[in-house]
Amino acid sequence: MRKIFVAFVCSALWTIQPAVSSFAQPPESLSELKATSIDGQTKRFGQFYLVPDVDVASDGFGGYFYSYKDKRGNKTTTNSIDSLPKGLLMAGKPVQVAFNDAATEVPVRVAESRTSQHEVSEPSAHDESGEFEGEIYDPIEPVNRAFFYFNDKLYFWVLKPIAKGYGKVFPEPLRVSVRNFFHNIFMPVRAVNCLLQGKIKGFGTEITRFVVNSTMGVCGFGDAAKTAFDIDKRDEDFGQTLGFYGLGPGIYINWPLLGPSNIRDTVGIVGDGFLNPVNYVEPFKYSLAIKGYDQVNRTSLSLGQYEALKKAAFDPYISLREAYYENRCYKIRK
């Protein structure tokens, strides 16, 4: 039990991310792709829904922004997300849209669907777009908000100042090389989970990348597999493996230090801890130092993303929770 607990703590410190840098991107200007208002309503891109008082726009990369007004009339635009929240979809009426440009997919006309007035149209849990997979279950929101506040202060008071100072001392190319090195040694986590999901091609990709980057890439500091052979790494973990086999997320949890998670992904972190080579470094303090350094290095390369999330969101806690949930759903579907 002690080793399992130590592995969990190590994984937690390795994944210190009060800001979800991997998917919280700064919002862009809503210009040509802004949804056109129709009789006080708006239409969204993709599987279309008419939603009052909400503007939805494509981010140009398959995701969406949506903006809304609070009770005081202040307009808030969310960060880019892969799909729209359940509440927004449920509030809308489905429509069919024709396009005048296949590249930009800007709609030119809207026709209501043939759904009968007596039929209730709701997106299914596994519709064609695959965007909606259930409701976020957050029964311990007060506790989660307290932990969110703790992580927020930890980021601004500790992690960000250290990462900024580190970034000023070490140039970006060097920090990118360090990130490549850690990506390379964490190969067992990705490769084993590809294998567990039956993704044989993904398993082969990870093994190939490890061999190429460990040799041509000089111990993994260079990503030769990507630059020379255009072989991208796979993003798999044990939480995704559990989701792949149908295990639901359970309750949403915002852990201290770890940030957004849920029951399934927490179990996944523990499982991945046994595949993480850094957890086997002795003594324990060296393992802890390595993970702390990795976190500072990664944060130095993503400064500003969490700040953009907070600035764009009316309620950063909700935005972070939704972004995390949508991101995990997207990864499991892949």
Say yes or no: 236 and 328 in one domain.
yes
Q: Are 17 and 96 part of one and the same domain?
A: no
- Tens-place pLDDT, residues 166-208: 999 999 999 999 999 999 999 999 999 999 999 999 999 999 9
Residues 319 and 262 in one domain: yes
pTM: 0.62
Local confidence band at 309 (pLDDT 50, 70, 90 cut-offs): confident
- pLDDT score, position 310: 86
- Mean pLDDT of the 13-19 span: 44
Q: Is 84 exposed, middle or buried (0-12, 13-18, 19+ CB in 10 A)?
A: buried
Answer whether residue 123 is part of any domain: no
Is there a domain that residue 259 lies in? yes
Whether residue 159 sits in one domain with residue 97: no
Domain membership flag for residue 131: no
Give me the DSSP letters along 219-232. TTTS-HHHHHH--P
> Are 161 and 301 found together in one domain?
yes
Secondary structure of residue 153 in the 3-state scheme? helix
Looking at the structure, tell me whether residues 51 and 184 fall in a common domain: no
Q: Identify the domain containing residue 183 by its residue range.
A: 2-24+136-333
Position 23 confidence tier, pLDDT thresholds 50, 70, 90 = very low
Judged against a pLDDT cut of 90, whether residue 214 lies above it is answered with yes
The answer to whether residues 296 and 267 belong to one domain is yes
Domain-embedded: residue 284: yes
pLDDT category of residue 44 using cuts at 50, 70 and 90: very low
Work out how many domains the chain is built from and give that number: 2
Same domain, 43 and 178: no
| Strands, E assignment, 59-176 | 64-69, 75-77, 93-99, 107-112
Q: How far is CA 29 from CA 26, 32, 60, 90, 231, in A?
A: 10, 9, 11, 26, 32
pLDDT digits (tens, 9 = 90+) for 250-278: 999 999 999 999 999 999 999 999 999 99
- Among 73-77, 112-116, 326-330, the least confident range: 112-116
Residue 219 lies in a domain: yes
Question: Is 161 inside a domain boundary?
Answer: yes
Do 59 and 188 reside in the same domain of the chain? no
Residue 57: beta bridge partners? Answer: 34, 65
Give yes or no: residues 226 and 282 share one domain: yes
Establish if 286 belongs to a structural domain.
yes
Are residues 284 and 201 both part of a single domain? yes
Residue 321 pLDDT exceeds 60? yes
Asked whether residue 210 falls in the same domain as residue 100, the answer is: no
For the chain, how are helix, strand and coil distributed in percent, rounded to 5?
45, 15, 40
Domain assignment of residue 250, yes or no: yes
Query: In the prediction, which pLDDT does 152 show?
Result: 95
Q: Which amino acid is at 36?
A: T
pLDDT recorded at residue 231: 93
